[in-house]
Amino acid sequence: MRASAVRSANKAGPLKFAINDRLPKLIPSPPNNSVGNCQALVRAALVCTTIGISIGPANRALAQNVPPQTSVTAAEQAVLKSPGVSVSADGTRVLYGQEFFAKSGAVTVIDILNRIPGIQDVVKLNGNGGGGFSGGQQVERRGFGSTGDQILINGERLAGKTNDTAATLQRIQARQVERVEVIRGAVAGLDVRSEGLVVNVVLKESTGSGSWEASATHYNKGRVQWHGRASYSGTIDAWTYNIAVEDRPYYQQRDRIETYINLSELPYQRQFEINETIADERALTANTGYTFSNGDRLALNGRYGNEEEVEEFPVYSYALPVTPSSFLFFDDRVADTGKKTWEVGGDYTHDFTGGGQFKGLFVYTHGTFDRDTPFKLTLAGRAETLTRLQNEDRVNSEKIVRGSYRQDVSEAINAEAGAEVAINTLDKTVDLFTNQGGTLRRVVLFNAKAKIKETRFESFTTLSWQATSSLFVDTNLELEYSKLNQTGVDVNNRRSLFFVRPGVDLRYDITPLSQLRAFVHRNVSQLDFANFVATFEDDDARSDVVNAGNPDLVPEKAWEYALTYERRLPNDGGVASLKAFYNDISDRLDNIPVGPARAVSAVGNTGSGRMYGLEAKASIRLSALGLPGVVVNANGTVRRTRGTDAFTGARTRFQDYANHFYTLGFRHDTGWRDLAYGLSVDDEGRRAASDINYRHVFNRKFDGTAFAEMRAFAGMTAKLEYRRILRAGGIRKRVTYTGNRGFSPALRQESRRVRFNQDIVLTLRGSF
């Protein structure tokens, strides 16, 4: 299998030891023919490469986007008292210069951003608190669009989708940074639209330098994984470049103990499971930029990634009370996955003498995905049997071409117009083989092979107006037309979609330190074409279920409203904000019953829904309390959702969506050998989920992460992290039904306790 290089015969051996450690006299060793010989997996990751980003010289790239520095008011002087911190003349940007982070010992841009109050969520690219669609999941944007990552580099975002900004920031060295701009609210001329904060990292020219990172992660079961990254960047005349390579292994372990309870409230069966995921991703990325003598700018980037993953779900089942003689069966499912992606993108910018600007870009992404999942069952006293084999293969691609023209209509008005064309394709095949009389035979599945193609055209216009010195209005209108074609043995479907997406953003500066922001947007989600074709379920309750897909899906739409108040403290003492949001959703995506007798489920549109809540954020320096260098960060959200359960018709909250969550942490930069340490904790409310034959509630427990870092030697820093300190995990309560829970009786209750592995990570970083 493709991921065999990742998996090192680590099937039942670790499970055997883990369970025997817990119940040494009760759990018998599984039959030899069901487990096989096991070896310990110790994988050393080679330091391989990616090719990072470099987008044009900073001075030219930001010529139109940075307001000039002029005299400021007395109120703004309060902010300027902090060394290295200034405010743009129009008050929209807080600028952090080299004086601010020169003594921080930062190696990469991430190190710098972690020291700026109020932008931690932006750095993590978490999006806005009220954003997303049903279920609170972040939805892939349609095409390239005007929304995206909230971090710009030299005033621009990457012309890519898999080649993302978050990974790029880890490759750019701190000594390449000229300044960091924190942009508050809507601002004309940005390369990305955002209701909240936007961070712009301005780079300076570099003669050539590199950085490296190596880390070792130790897990609570003794496993060690190695990770390496290296990058090199520089400038040759008008040409800039950055290259990097990375090898990133991944390991996750979840210990589970589950008890089955009958309708008389009596436990009768117990299952033990250690769910392990072992993966390794190698990536190579390359970005380059060139500035022509007339000021035109060309940027190109590329990325190649190869990931192998093995996920194993071994289950030992015993009747209660648990004794060696009560062993029922050993069920082993292994998902062996291979993924390959490559992407090229680029953009070209031309500034006209009259003040206008043209920008064109292209993105081409291609990916392959193939997964083999054998199911093996060993009943008590019997030999192992291969009961089932699932195969899934898909090839997807996306091609985007986008062009826009921007012009200052007057000193107060800026306009932009453009168009985007995108072509998305998916070729997917699923195969199922089951054991029939000792032989695996193919099962004929409906809609098991299909090709899907979407051709989308979008036009967009934007008008930005500085109505008064304090009030800024930004309006946009997007029109989209798309054609969807699905062809296959069982389904041939053609249809057209048309959407109108208006939006308005307002920014009102009450004072130079206080700001009020509001927006109204019409958003449309990107469809997952894989849901159009037959799909294997991968959750533990329905792993042997195949649904037929839903070729009639339409995107989920939402009217999104938000109002935010932000207050910055004097002397760069921090920032606090409070946000109220409300989303009115139509054609909400969720599981629905399909097929004869409504006996199976598929993803479908379930009607209307709504989501609303409050989000509070604060990032405060404690210098005023005599604790210089200490920053406290807090983030809390309370929200409610309401939709329709497609199986029962009752009103219910969205799937897998916590009604509240919070994070709280602090960071202390001591100034001695760049020593810093900190702690963060998080917790959330219960998450409810359901499908055709079950419903459950999952309660994840309180847990946290601690770290300490310092300059070990000249040019090298060391960082130690302790993740999931409490190894708290969570508890899941589930009710399983005999069939469609809309009209079928309950079968049993299930109580599951989950514990996640702890990680201790030692990271060394340096430059050359």
Please tell me which of 39-48, 321-330, 533-542 the model is most confident about, judged by mean pLDDT: 321-330
| pLDDT of the residue at 19 | 37
In this prediction the pTM is 0.83
Which of 252, 262, 405 is closest to 724 using CA atoms? 252
**Per-residue pLDDT tens digits for 724-740:** 999 888 999 999 999 99
Tokens 């430059």 identify what position? 767
CB 74 within 8 A of CB 65: no
- pLDDT at residue 530 greater than cutoff 60: yes
Q: Which helix (H) or strand (E) holds 110?
A: helix 109-113
- Phi and psi, residue 588, nearest 5°: -60, 135
User: How far, in Å, CA of 255 to CA of 313, rounded?
Assistant: 11
Phi-psi region of 727 (alpha: psi -120 to 50; beta: other; left: phi over 0): left
Please tell me which of 62-71, 99-108, 149-158, 611-620 the model is most confident about, judged by mean pLDDT: 611-620
| pLDDT of the residue at 196 | 64
| pLDDT of the residue at 413 | 93
Peptide bond into 321 cis (omega under 30): yes
| pLDDT of the residue at 71 | 41
Structure-model confidence comparison of residues 204 and 452, the more confident one: 452
| pLDDT of the residue at 36 | 38
Distances (CA, A) of 328 to 13, 24, 321: 19, 18, 12
Q: What is the mean pLDDT of residues 564-591?
A: 92
| pLDDT of the residue at 57 | 35
| pLDDT of the residue at 10 | 42
**DSSP alpha helices (H): ranges in 449-598?**
none
Q: Show the tokens assigned to 418.
A: 């453009």
- pLDDT at residue 516 greater than cutoff 90: yes
CA 128 from centre of chain: 13
Which of 339, 335, 290 is closest to 312 using CA atoms? 335
Q: Which residues contact 381 (CB under 8 A, 6 or more apart)?
A: none
* Cα dihedral across residues 141, 147, 148, 154: positive or negative: positive
CB 206 within 8 A of CB 234: yes
Structure-model confidence comparison of residues 76 and 752, the more confident one: 752
| pLDDT of the residue at 759 | 92
- pLDDT at residue 60 greater than cutoff 50: no
Band (pLDDT 50/70/90 cuts) for residue 397 is very high
Tokens 């995990």 identify what position? 729
Contacts of 227-232 with C-beta under 8 Å, sequence gap 24+, read 227/45, 228/45, 228/46, 228/47, 228/48, 229/47, 229/50, 229/170, 229/171, 230/47, 230/49, 231/49, 231/50, 231/52, 231/171, 231/172, 231/173, 232/208
**How many CB atoms neighbour CB 362 within 10 A?**
18
**DSSP alpha helices (H): ranges in 114-226?**
120-123, 165-169
Pairing of strands 267-291, 297-319: antiparallel
Please tell me which of 103-112, 154-163, 400-409, 596-605 the model is most confident about, judged by mean pLDDT: 400-409
User: How far, in Å, CA of 483 to CA of 194, rounded?
Assistant: 29
SS3 196: coil
**Per-residue pLDDT tens digits for 117-147:** 877 666 664 333 333 333 334 445 565 655 5
- pLDDT at residue 443 greater than cutoff 60: yes
Structure-model confidence comparison of residues 13 and 89, the more confident one: 89
CB 189 within 8 A of CB 332: no
Please tell me which of 38-42, 547-551, 715-719 the model is most confident about, judged by mean pLDDT: 715-719
Structure-model confidence comparison of residues 374 and 64, the more confident one: 374
| pLDDT of the residue at 81 | 56
Band (pLDDT 50/70/90 cuts) for residue 382 is very high
| pLDDT of the residue at 151 | 77
| CA atoms in the 13 A half-sphere facing the CB of 429 | 8
Q: Where are the beta strands (DSSP E) in 467-492?
A: 471-488
| pLDDT of the residue at 142 | 62
**Per-residue pLDDT tens digits for 154-212:** 877 776 666 666 667 777 777 788 888 888 766 666 666 666 678 888 887 766 788 89
Average per-residue pLDDT for the chain: 82
